[in-house]
Amino acid sequence: MGNCCPNHDLKTSFISSISDDKTKLVTNSASKQPVLVVIPPPPLKQQISQDDFIKIGMLGQGAFGKVYQVRKKDTNKIYAMKQIQIKKIRECNLETNTVLERNVLKQSKHPFIVKLKFAFQNPKYIFFVMECINGGQFYNVLKCKRSGLPENVVRFVAAEVVLALEYLNTKLKVIYRDLKPEITFY
């Protein structure tokens, strides 16, 4: 039958029963009396899925999956979506590597490392949605330039790669061993 705490009034007990992050005590400008305002919780993040994207085209293919250029339906932003087959990851015991890749992409804040925007999965695939880099694979640039690239371009690309590897090694404590022109963007 109500609050039976002899040392507390009803107002104090009610205020203390609501967690601090959901309330705010403000002063009413007209009466100068304190007023309790309940702050609604932030909206729940909507679950994202493959259905939120439209495939535009395939950017590449690897041993474990494919990379597509996609458009997010609600924002029309263009991304690269890496679709990894869970079955193949399990067959090769690479679950830990896949989790590490997601964590590195999520934590990375470096201008020469692509940024992970979304990660989700369904029963067959794991999806990493990353910023899409215009320009293309360094491998394709090398194939087209039979006479080689100008020295200043080679120096610039090499410096970007060295800085990215240095960041991974010193800041994220990761040794990257899979560097190749196919996954270097120009």
Domain extent listing, the chain? 1-44, 48-134, 135-186
pLDDT tens digits along 87-123: 999 999 999 989 999 999 999 999 988 899 999 999 9
Task: Cite the beta strand spans of 13-165 per DSSP E.
Answer: 23-27, 34-38, 53-61, 65-72, 78-85, 116-121, 125-131
> Looking at residue 14, what is its pLDDT?
36
The label of the residue with tokens 């493959």 reads 50
Question: What's the CA dihedral at 86, 89, 93, 99 to 10 degrees?
Answer: -80
**Could you tell me the two tokens for 30?**
């007209």
Question: Does 171 carry a binding-site annotation?
Answer: no
pLDDT tens digits along 24-66: 555 556 666 665 666 666 666 678 999 999 999 998 888 899 9
The label of the residue with tokens 């560097």 reads 179
* Superfamily (CATH) of domain 48-134: Phosphorylase Kinase; domain 1 (3.30.200.20)
Helices (H) and strands (E) in the chain, counts: 5, 7
Which helix (H) or strand (E) segment is 142 a member of? helix 138-144
9 is catalytic: no
Q: Over 70: is that where the pLDDT of 155 sits?
A: yes
> Looking at residue 36, what is its pLDDT?
60
